[in-house]
Structure 1
Amino acid sequence: MHHGHAVELHALMWAAGWIVAVMMLFAAGVRLPLATGLGAIGSRLYAAGCVLAALGVWVLANVALHLNDTHIDVTREKVYTPSATAMAVVDELRTPVNITYFYRSDDPVGQRARNILEVMGRRNPMLTVLTVDPDKQPELARREGVRLYNAAIVEAAGRRVLIQGTDEAEIAIGIQRVLRTRSLTVCFLEGHGEFSMDGFEFHTHLEGVSDHSHGEASSQVIETAGHGVGRLRRVLEAQGYVTRKLVLATSGAVPSDCTIVLVANPRTTFLPAESAALQSYLAGGGSALFMLDLGFVPEAGLAKLLSDLGVQLEQQVVVDPLSHYHRDAEMVAVTGYDQHPITRTLSLTFFPGIRPLTLTKPAPGVEVTPILQSSRDSYARPVSAAEARSTEGASARAAQVADVRPRVLGIAAEGTLAPGTSPFRAVVIGDGDFASNSFLPYMSNSDLMVAAVRWLAHEERGTAVRTRIPVPPMILLTAAQSRWIFIVIVILLPLTVIGIGGVVWWMRR
């Protein structure tokens, strides 16, 4: 049984025991005789004994219930209940953690955060929670150096992290951050037209756009600040990772402090020395995430490295008539995943204009696992000019394509590249747009990126806490979901009303 469920069952059993004790007192009070025939002194001793026994049972029952408190949230939205992931982080604690939370007692949001943290503190004895109103205890706030409301100081093993906010997910991430014994750095590779890690803007695609290569400008795309991965950088920083830029052309080698090298959609070919540096980095036990879109052509050294990792890039685009968004069959939606720590909690991801990966025989000692695949009705076709890449044209040619089968879209590889070398980890995905500012916040795209980075950093055993990304309100649906909504609302619902009306008319004839 899961530890969290065992804790809840344990607390409910104590609550049930308290109810049983109270019912026993009530039954004893009803059934015990008032006249005992023991005389005046005996009757007084009898009455005093009954009172003392009842008080003893009542005190012990309430002390037991207090020591095993049960949290009951009767609100429909479970406003005062911590999220499941936050509770999972608390359940995993094996090291003492202290949280001091500063809030304003007349602030409803701060009061909710206080209640949430107190529930989390009762969940695991390894977590100690102290809530403080700086207006009532200013000396403690001054001693801790806190001058803000709704701020938490998370401490463990001499390390401390300051969290500003009222979201228990941020507190849970703070717990994970303070328990790390090493600094984890994600190095964003630059110098080949990659997505910039500094970009804060995003742009929006209009419906009907089928060119996701972002090569030639399209009149159907809103022109704003270009694609970037600034949102991804901020998500990783919220998870406690350090981020920095890496230019291999000038550094010559991957620095030793780079825990992960992230290659976000390069557009120009690498230099042979850069490919050799990446190969040496992985051979030395490094971790890398390659997102290689259609516009990228690897040079011989990088192609050899990818082949050692078990994949070959195809200059094709995947078309999926069965699982895609709205009318764009090149915006492949993935709803099923191969078993792997990265895909453990994923539900639905989508990839605008993704290339297929051909599995090859990896280097000895390397284990390859496909983690992303298109549906059974998908096929791939060579990339052509932008004007020829319309959705309608692709749909018309689908029947003429004989090689219809699932395509591998992403793999995870681990092992050693040569005997005696350190074990490495790598992830290769045939698209970079899905992690850009435009598409990262939607569905499970951000979950995929965080899960991949956590696996590359050897943190997959812990609970992944989702970082909230503010986005404009919108609903994204697959083609099948849109079709079923249309059938139910536009066809079945009116027909049902007409049918009911007809039955009522027939009964009243």
Structure 2
Amino acid sequence: MLANLALTLHDVHFDLTREKVYTPSAATMRAIDELSSPVTVTYFYRSQEAEARRTRDLLLIMARRNPRLKVVTADPDREPMLARTQGIRLYNAAVIEAQGRRVMVQGTDEAEIVLGIQRALRGDAITACFLEGHGELPMDNFEFHTHLEGGASHSHGDAASQIIEMPGHGVGRLRRALEAQGYAARKLVLALQPEVPSDCTLVIAAGPRTTFLPAESLALRGYLQRGDSLLMLIDLGFVLEPELGRLVADLGIRAEQEVVIDPLSHYSTDPEMVAVTGYDPHPVTRAISLTFYPGVRPLAIRPPAEGLHSVPLLLSSRDSYTRPVAPVPGHVAGHVPGEAEDDSRSATPGPPVSGQRVLGVAVEGHLGRGERPMRAVVVGDADFASNSFFPYMANSDLLLAAVRWLAREERTTTVTTRIPVPPLVALTGRQLSAIFLIVVVAMPLLVVSLGCVVWWRRR
């Protein structure tokens, strides 16, 4: 009786499973703790499904966590009138209501329901506009591997090539990850319109290969002056036309025509896959582990325009050095060869000088007379965002953190779908050798030895 009274007064939940499948994830709990306004979730589940019942229990645990979250569960077979009233036609659907908005989520994934709660509380949709028209990595593709660009070691059969060849490849995984976070994604061709549309919360330029038209660069400048956000991933060899070069210079950045080589800190066995293991404090790099950048170009930091503040995000090791690379000529109509030489000239070959190189920069502040502060993240590589490398190490975490910061959602907890981990036991080589000697050698030898002893005694 005392135990029953204690459990009634103090909610206690025990989950003895290895993967804690009957407990909401830590990220889910943080997102629920952050709720500042009332939210109602009505979950219509099929009582015959074990997974649906598990999701129901998780929602009830979340509701006990924060009184602002009200959870109502119902079986459509037993309460068909309620299901019809809510417009439910399928099993395992959640209707989320908050601040006069209504969001419907289908499935048994707790992360999808929490993301639906965040969408309902967000109000205005966040749209990531992917630039196209300059050979950028396409956002709609089959998500297979991407051929690398860089030095001779990254050229896939053409030692002189400095360009990515991407038939049907691109940043589809990044787009899907953004959509999973509740963001909208669409294409943007600046050559067809005088300015960036107002519904673009942020613009992503993922690895352009050909130069921009001056009017496109001016449109990006006007977009940032309005207080919006830009994620620019500029690959090795990309030529900045003069107007875009001036915009990047106002951000306090100069993109060098060199490739960074890091003999100490690199991914796999390729010193041109520069790995970054430590970061200075910034909302983008908070709690980020190792990331790597194939064929990355260094970014020289300059004093930004008045009203702007730039911070290095990504740095190579002190043992890294650079090698000059010839720029790729522009192919967009309107580009005059030689115009961009001030921002894209090749360095004179000389002995390598070791030292830290800046690979990524975050910029914030007022550009020009803009009333709202703009934000920008510039990285000297686009390969790390491609389908080939997006899911590996912490590349995806860094990109999603950058997008959240650009969208002014850095304080929002990121909730991702939990991936079941099989109950594997990882053994070292020494442990494997010991098991082999004991099980395969010693134990059979012991049985044979005992048999020999018994046989000898019986003689």
Query: SS at 1:160's partner residue?
Result: strand
1:73 equivalent in structure 2 = 15
| Pair 199,217 (structure 1): closer, same or farther in 2 beyond 3 Å | farther
Structure ranking higher on relative contact order (CA contacts 8 Å, 6+ apart): 2
1:160-171 aligned at under 5 Å gives the runs 160-171=102-113
1:61-100 aligned at under 5 Å gives the runs 62=5, 65-66=7-8, 68-100=10-42
| Residue 430 of structure 1, CA deviation | 0.7
Query: SS at 1:441's partner residue?
Result: coil
* 1:283 is aligned to 2:233: no
1:416 equivalent in structure 2 = 366
2:123 equivalent in structure 1 = 181
Letter in 1 for 2:44: F
Find the aligned partners of 1:240 and 1:446 in 2 and give their Cα distance.
16
| Residue 316 of structure 1, CA deviation | 1.1
| Residue 412 of structure 1, CA deviation | 0.5
| Pair 467,284 (structure 1): closer, same or farther in 2 beyond 3 Å | farther
| 1:137 alignment partner, one of 79, 86, 89 | 79
1:392-431 aligned at under 5 Å gives the runs 402-419=352-369, 421-431=371-381
Tell me the matched-pair count: 411
| 2:176 alignment partner, one of 216, 229, 234 | 234
Letter in 1 for 2:429: I
2:236 equivalent in structure 1 = 294
1:25-84 Cα distance to aligned partner (Å, 9 max, x none)? xxxxxxxxxxxxxxxxxxxxxxxxxxxxxxxxxxxx72x633531111111211111111
Deviates more, 1:120-129 or 1:414-423: 414-423
1:298-377 aligned at under 5 Å gives the runs 298-377=240-319
2:216 equivalent in structure 1 = 274
* Superposition TM-score, scaled by structure 1 size: 0.74
1:141-196 Cα distance to aligned partner (Å, 9 max, x none)? 22211122222222101212122222222222111111012222211111111111
Query: Is there any run of 5+ residues in structure 1 with no aligned partner, and where?
Result: 1-17, 23-60, 387-399, 474-484, 502-509
Find the aligned partners of 2:121 and 2:257 in 1 and give their Cα distance.
44
1:392-412 Cα distance to aligned partner (Å, 9 max, x none)? xxxxxxxx9541112111111
| Residue 254 of structure 1, CA deviation | 0.9
Query: SS at 2:32's partner residue?
Result: helix
2:188 equivalent in structure 1 = 246
* 1:466 is aligned to 2:406: no
Find the aligned partners of 2:322 and 2:57 in 1 and give their Cα distance.
53
Find the aligned partners of 1:227 and 1:213 in 2 and give their Cα distance.
16
Find the aligned partners of 1:226 and 1:216 in 2 and give their Cα distance.
20
| Pair 496,158 (structure 1): closer, same or farther in 2 beyond 3 Å | closer
* 1:202 is aligned to 2:144: yes
1:158 equivalent in structure 2 = 100
- Could you tell me whether the CA contact under 8 Å between 1:202 and 1:224 is conserved in 2? no
Letter in 2 for 1:383: V
Deviates more, 1:310-319 or 1:130-139: 130-139
Find the aligned partners of 1:181 and 1:415 in 2 and give their Cα distance.
25
Find the aligned partners of 1:376 and 1:350 in 2 and give their Cα distance.
16
| Pair 99,420 (structure 1): closer, same or farther in 2 beyond 3 Å | closer
* 1:489 is aligned to 2:429: yes
Find the aligned partners of 2:32 and 2:19 in 1 and give their Cα distance.
21
- Could you tell me whether the CA contact under 8 Å between 2:278 and 2:289 is conserved in 1? yes
Percent identity (aligned): 61
Find the aligned partners of 1:365 and 1:109 in 2 and give their Cα distance.
53
| Pair 489,362 (structure 1): closer, same or farther in 2 beyond 3 Å | same
- Could you tell me whether the CA contact under 8 Å between 1:356 and 1:408 is conserved in 2? yes
| Pair 78,469 (structure 1): closer, same or farther in 2 beyond 3 Å | closer
| Residue 313 of structure 1, CA deviation | 0.4
| Residue 465 of structure 1, CA deviation | 2.1
| Pair 377,442 (structure 1): closer, same or farther in 2 beyond 3 Å | same
Query: SS at 2:29's partner residue?
Result: helix
Letter in 1 for 2:355: R
1:119 equivalent in structure 2 = 61
Find the aligned partners of 2:155 and 2:183 in 1 and give their Cα distance.
30
| Residue 414 of structure 1, CA deviation | 0.5
- Could you tell me whether the CA contact under 8 Å between 1:372 and 1:408 is conserved in 2? yes
- Could you tell me whether the CA contact under 8 Å between 2:146 and 2:386 is conserved in 1? no
1:15 equivalent in structure 2 = none
| Residue 428 of structure 1, CA deviation | 0.3
| 2:402 alignment partner, one of 431, 452, 461 | 452
- Could you tell me whether the CA contact under 8 Å between 1:320 and 1:330 is conserved in 2? yes
Find the aligned partners of 2:385 and 2:218 in 1 and give their Cα distance.
26
Find the aligned partners of 1:192 and 1:469 in 2 and give their Cα distance.
37
Letter in 2 for 1:234: R
- Could you tell me whether the CA contact under 8 Å between 2:202 and 2:228 is conserved in 1? yes
- Could you tell me whether the CA contact under 8 Å between 1:198 and 1:228 is conserved in 2? yes
Find the aligned partners of 2:419 and 2:147 in 1 and give their Cα distance.
19
Structure (1 or 2) with the greater helix fraction:
1
Find the aligned partners of 1:302 and 1:354 in 2 and give their Cα distance.
20
1:381-425 Cα distance to aligned partner (Å, 9 max, x none)? 112699xxxxxxxxxxxxx95411121111110001224643111
1:301-357 Cα distance to aligned partner (Å, 9 max, x none)? 111111111111011111122222221111122221111111113112121211111
Aligned Cα root-mean-square deviation (Å):
3.3
Letter in 2 for 1:442: Y
- Could you tell me whether the CA contact under 8 Å between 1:200 and 1:437 is conserved in 2? no
Query: SS at 1:428's partner residue?
Result: strand
| Pair 468,78 (structure 1): closer, same or farther in 2 beyond 3 Å | closer
